[in-house]
Amino acid sequence: MAILKIARMGHPILAQRAQEVADPSAPEIRHLVADMIETMIDANGAGLAAPQVHVPLRVVVFQAPSERTPDTGEERFDHTAPLTVLVNPVIEVLGDELDGGWEGCLSVPGMRGYVERPAHIRYRGFDHEGRAVARTASGFHARVVQHECDHLDGILYPKRMTDLGQLIFESEAKHWARDEG
């Protein structure tokens, strides 16, 4: 396994649609997934998409551990999101409700942005052994899946923001905690 270089915002690979994977269980996909997981953990990320490591394929890895629950308490940890591999993922939105939250990205280091996304989704795809994966998700789990899958379509979270005034440096995030009162 190896820690891979992460592409940063502005690199062309992050602006293109990734290609479908013909065989999710192919040895090269298994190797890529192992390297992506090691890279994600090393970078302290909640997820990573193949284009972020300069590979234009529809592969994402993610996890939604409890320690990643935002400090604001706005989003609740969803225990159904263990370390997950998704190859050729498809997302279905379940309802009109939106959920807002602060997002960061390994490809946009040092920044956070407030993004509203569908609150409830269903996703499906395959793991790196070719087994079908299908789950419903809400809260942080749903946010991570949508964020990572956006990478597969060449979308970084700032494109999802409705107010660029809420694009801030992580060091200033403490000043932007939403007042729920």
Say which CATH number the domain at 112 has.
3.90.45.10
**From residue 135, how far is each of 54, 120, 142, 145 by CA, in Å?**
27, 11, 10, 11
Residue 30 lies in a domain: yes
Residue 3 lies in a domain: no
Range of the domain at 135: 12-176
Residue 148 lies in a domain: yes
In a 3-state reduction of DSSP, which class is residue 150? helix
Return the pLDDT at 9.
98
Residue 4 lies in a domain: no
Residue 2 lies in a domain: no
Residue 157 lies in a domain: yes
From first CA to last CA, the distance across the chain in angstroms is 47
Percent of the chain exceeding pLDDT 70 equals 87
The whole-model pTM stands at 0.89
Scanning 25-178, the segments in alpha helix (DSSP H) are 27-42, 139-151
Residue 5 lies in a domain: no
Tell me the average pLDDT of the chain: 90
Contact between residue 35 and residue 4 where contact means Cβ atoms under 8 Å apart:
yes
Catalytic machinery residues: 148
Q: pLDDT digit string (tens) for 62-118?
A: 997 655 444 444 444 444 468 999 999 999 999 999 999 999 999 999 999 999 999
Query: How many domains does the chain contain in total?
Result: 1
Closest CA to 59 of 44, 78, 43, 40: 40
Residue 103 lies in a domain: yes
